[in-house]
Amino acid sequence: MASFWSMWIIILTSITFVGITWILFANRKGEKRATDNTTGHEYDGIQELDNPLPAWWFYMFVLTIVWGVGYLILYPGMGNFPGVLGWTQIDQHDRKVAAADEKFRAMRDRYMALPIEEIAVDPAVRKMGTRMFSNNCAQCHGADAKGSYGFPNLTDGDWIFGGTPDAIKHSITKGRQAAMPAWGTIIGDKGVEDVTAYVMSINGRSTNDEHAAAGETVYQTYCVACHGADATGNPALGAPNLKNGIWLYGGNPEQVSHSIRAGRNGVMPALENMLGEDKIHILTAYVYGLSQ
């Protein structure tokens, strides 16, 4: 705080203290007035009395003033003066965080030592996991973890990057960067149309057989490298299964041909810095448990 505003606060506060003390004492009536103890006001025969404050009330005011002065000496309040105790909100917050960390660390240490498969069914882990998931993941994957367009469902047992505890932990820790190239300029409109028909056909959807047959050749030339000869995908590359009817970007022919023509580049952010190892361990167990 600039020293001007610091002084401003100190002076205003001091004037207020002096002012209220003066009001309190100046209006105190030690003795009853010589008159009849009324203000002289009268309405419809009712007189307004002017009694002194009861003593307990008066001393309560004195006490609050003394309290206020004492408080401003001990704690921050008077402008930049930090108070003789040196208390700060930040210190208090840090102490609380440290205490909470200490409490949870013991519990987390125990979980860190156990395999994911084992703690995935632990009710306490599921409870912590639910809370962590809604704070850190739900905005993308949905509160129920079922995902939406562009954000994978984490409950269905179908994994783009793999569903082992290690793979899930890696997805959360390091993030994932899916790279599906744009094929439009390489295979042309006809190529896109044909290979879309092929992808439809391997999903058991009715389509133009001629296109599908031509599309199979395109597929074997350009797509096998990532999606595999049998089109079941490759978790190491984040290339999804193209024949199980589960789609990240929609499964109608327009959506599939758009994926192929323009490419797709979904990003799962790396959360290791934000969450730390122990929270990620709990979250991995939670996510792993969702599809078991």
The site for ligand HEC (CB under 6 A) is made up of: 136-137, 139-141, 150-152, 154, 159-162, 168, 171-172, 176, 178-181, 183, 195, 199, 219, 222-223, 225-227, 237-240, 242, 247-249, 256, 259-260, 264-269, 271, 283, 287
The token duo for 62 is 């004195």
Q: How far is the CB of 188 from ligand HEC (least distance, A)?
A: 11
The token duo for 150 is 């562009």
Report the alpha-carbon distance of residue 222 to residue 217 in Å, rounded. 9
Nearest CA-CA partner of 291 in 117, 111, 115? 117
Q: How far is the CB of 159 from ligand HEC (least distance, A)?
A: 4
The residue among 79 and 285 lying less far from ligand HEC, judged by its C-beta, is 285
Q: How far is the CB of 209 from ligand HEC (least distance, A)?
A: 17
Contact 9, 78 (CB under 8 A): yes
Q: How far is the CB of 114 from ligand HEC (least distance, A)?
A: 19
Q: How far is the CB of 103 from ligand HEC (least distance, A)?
A: 22
Report the alpha-carbon distance of residue 84 to residue 82 in Å, rounded. 7
The residue among 92 and 217 lying less far from ligand HEC, judged by its C-beta, is 217
Q: Which residue in the shown chain puts its C-beta closest to ligand HEC?
A: 266
Nearest CA-CA partner of 266 in 182, 152, 147, 163? 152
The residue among 80 and 139 lying less far from ligand HEC, judged by its C-beta, is 139
Report the alpha-carbon distance of residue 287 to residue 163 in Å, rounded. 9
Q: How far is the CB of 14 from ligand HEC (least distance, A)?
A: 52
Q: How many CB atoms lie within 10 A of CB 24?
A: 15
Report the alpha-carbon distance of residue 287 to residue 154 in Å, rounded. 7
The residue among 52 and 162 lying less far from ligand HEC, judged by its C-beta, is 162
Report the alpha-carbon distance of residue 75 to residue 107 in Å, rounded. 36
The residue among 160 and 212 lying less far from ligand HEC, judged by its C-beta, is 160
